[in-house]
Structure 1
Amino acid sequence: MTSTSIYICSICTDEEHAITWCTKCEDFLCTDCAKHHQRSKTSKDHNTISTRDYRNLPNFMRQTSNLCKDHDKKNEFYCSFHSYHCCIECIADKHQQCKDLKPLADSLKDVKSSANIPLLKNNLKDLNESYKEVLHYLGERIKTINNQKDEGIKSVRQMRQSLDVHFDKLEKQLNDDLESKHSKLKSDIEELVRKIDNRAKRVDELRVAFSTMEQYASEQQIYTGLIEFENNISQESKYLEELDSGNQLDNITLEIIIPSALQSILQEVTSFGNIAITLAPKNFKCKNIGKNQAQQLVSKVHEMEHIKPSLMNTLSVPIRFTLNIPDCQIYFDSTNEKYTLLLLDQNGKRMMQFSSEGVFIKHVMTFTDEPHNLCHVTGDIVAVTFRGVKKVKLVEVEKNKIKKDIPLPHQCFGVSSDGEVLVISHAKDRKMIILNHVNYEDKDMSKQTLEDICVDRLSLFKGKIYGTNRIENEVYCFRITGEPLWTFTNKYIRQPEGIAVDRNGFVFIASNGNNRIMVLSPDGKTSKTILSENDRIRGPGAININGETGMMIVSSYIDGGDSAFIFKI
């Protein structure tokens, strides 16, 4: 329809060159069609611009259309929940349950006189000026460091002249020392090689003798010979064991280590010099752009369609372990300042720590009962529940010890915390207990019980409790006061276990009975399968998400035991 410089009339069939573009009809018009368009009752009030002005519009504006891409009908509505313009067919197709639909005309009304236009225009002006100031500042910095470089080269050359003789002496001393130590190491290794070579030859001789014995010796000779061979083999095996357990085969690295301290240039030179880069505060300040910005014209909402997990790592389970992972937690290791993974293992009654790359770090704690659920409380403290046990343990991960036990009136199952309260549930007793100040002494801890709530696993997020019911195949959402908000169930969720909520309020479910990871919308109305057996998800039970990093860990049954996958969402 268009080239890089010429637009063709959208109306007539003579391929006339267009001179104007109608912003309402979104049509190019030649001279004759433009006159007719201006006289017509239906279009005489439409705004038009010249094709030259149209060509100067940004590309993304030229590609904007008022026609629905799916149905080729005029967009007449705007859905604020999905941040989407839609036509009448879109509403019937995808937006029947959306409550935030409004006429598109209301959103476009008075848009040209909106307070955002002068604000954004001023912001662009300020941005332009700020970037010019930054570029000027950086240009001056380049000049300064160029001068500093020239001065440094000059200083080094002057120093070099007085240090040549001294460095020659240091070089000879270092080379002599290197030669001496290398000679000693080489001699020791050659001596070891000689000893091992003699033993290897001895073993070859024994092999030949053994073969001869098999062919020609009598029974009495074989009986006597076997005892002798056994003694010889035992001696050689013992030597190899001693060799393996000792330090004779340790890797030896021969390298020159240059000290970093510089005491005196001419007397105790240990290095030629160091380049020091010192940071100092800048002597100007960038402008604050858009701090008082008016409300956005269109609110941006995270969409479920954008949730597509990408595999980062797979848990590397040591061969000696066969795990049964009921729960997991993404945990920030403050000592090493990095995120790690905490896993419960029911087979070994323990808590284990892995790196975010899936590499085993350490055993945190071994328990007397089977651990079942855990959650981060605060700092390095996590809470752990146990099968059939009426208490919660608070564990200090960095110190590998139990901080305290919290006895409760019923068995504990699901557990979650937002740093302020700790919520513990058990579906059988249809109860949920909320504890405040769980990191303090018992006397400072208040307790609240919510009755008739049947939840197995749970997750606490922004004053709401999200939980799963494995028997009923349902997912629930309650206020922290116990008031029910919504219940979700459909054919794609079977025996739901682990549950996690991301920073946008989307709810992730480990559907154990059909090998799926599901995500639910924050209002509990829609769902989507994001992982399945095609992604090697089998019998998932544990799931956890870190809102800051977007990291998600999911347990899965692999090769005879549980393992886990680490995803980015």
Structure 2
Amino acid sequence: MATSSQSCCVCYLRHITNPSIVWCTECDEGLCTECKEHHRFSKASRGHRVIRIAEYQKLPAEILKITQYCTKHDKKYQFYCQKHECPCCSKCIVENHNECRDTVELDDIIHDAKTSNALCEIEETLVEVAENLQKIRQHQQDNLTTFKESRQEIENEIKTTRIKINNHLDKLQEDLMKQLYAVEEKENLKICQLLSSLETREKEITDCQRNIVIIKKHATDLQMFLSMKQIKEDVYSKNKFVQSLEEDKNFKQSSLSYKINTSMKNMMSHIISFGEVRIETKSCDIALIRKKAKQAQMMVPTVQSRSIENIKLAIQKTFNTQGNFIFGCCMLSDGRMAFTYYWDCKIIIFNTKGIKDFKVKMPCNVYDIVYISEDNALAVSSGGSEKQCITIIDLKRKQIKKTISLDSYLYGIVALKDNRLIYSGYDKGIRMINLYDESISDIVRDNMTCNCYTATFRDNIYHTNNSTNTVTCYNLQGGIQWTFQNVSVLKDPSGIDIDNDGNVYVVGTVSHNVVVITPDGKRHREVLTASDGLYCPTSLHYSEQKNQLLIANSNNKLAHFV
């Protein structure tokens, strides 16, 4: 801004001080009564939108910092670089964004910012978080009442029991009473601290909701759009706080209880304790609202981003896979889906509607499966079967084409170009096989555990290890690029695949979820959970052509198409 919003900007340039009564959102300036009239009738500015200066000053301070003009070149923003997520003036484009291909007209981006799905989702999430905080606060207040009632019941029981015994137990009674009150005070302190935190969060939510109403009413489209990302992050952190309370021990249902020492009734002098006061916890029975977790639209569809924070999956189809112990799945080029049934020694092909097309009986156990587009065939690994082999299935003839015997167990398998496969070979490490001459070369010579999966993207190989709960990225020479491990999010990592942007998707069999990891392995996010129908998922496959993900559960006869 040229001057403070309290003074007329035009008069300021004339070295005159007059108070502003309105603010022009187009000129980004305050205007006094006289300048307002000139501004209203001037051809260049008669169509500009002005608001009362008092209303303008109600906008949050961080919103007021957003202007229409480039702070570096003092030119009006005209473009938006989607790659760098920033507005640009004409000089910015020349100096810093000349090679950026994702530059669009700013007006095309901001014209519907106040009515966008992104803002609606933020407002809905705020309502959701506020309702959840209110539920939790009420729950904890009820818990305080229960604590008081429980304490009174225990106190009465202690006093009643104490009457039946002789006077030398007075000291023991006193010690127990001190313990009782101390436990109650300590637990009350925890609950009060949590309530204080909840009240603070509720106030923040209320402030955020009020700011959004003011921003929608008085801020420019640009201000609305550029502040949306920060608002979204604030809302996400508050929502994350609510969800994290479920896992926090302070959020457990607590109650006071007392167990009488039955030996007391015998009045034996060697008894050294009157009883025990303890806290019993159980999971809370309140149901938090999770509307946001079920939504599948992009936050800001007009500004595409490859960040994992923008990745959202929606279950498009769920169907019965007609069996258990499914350890491998893949999608064919025509949309059909193939699954392995380990103990049944068979594979089944389903059409795009989830109806069984045909099955092939196998000579051994079958673990992972991959589609070979060059030959229109499937390659199947034998897992921990006594017969250690890769079986090639001709899809046109719907029968086994050939079997390649190997010298180790093999689990996860992935196809490369030129009829080469990479597989996890147990104690032989990660290996590559040429299907033409059946020659084998070692990539990673380290011993691997059983049930490991592998995937490739460009010059990298990705490998899961359920024994160490890790996902490791190697180059084609076997050098480690990075290793991901976070047992609080991903337990028993199994099936793995990579999307067109290099993001790594992994299923957690024990954690019942799908986690996406950034190409550099530094960041991650949980994108599907048990609430989405995942139960012991073992395998997944990403279709590059369809940009779709196929996920197979192991034991509940369901597959998900997202």
Q: TM-score, normalised by structure 1?
A: 0.49
Q: Which has the higher contact order (CA 8 A, sep 6+)?
A: 2
Q: TM-score, normalised by structure 2?
A: 0.50
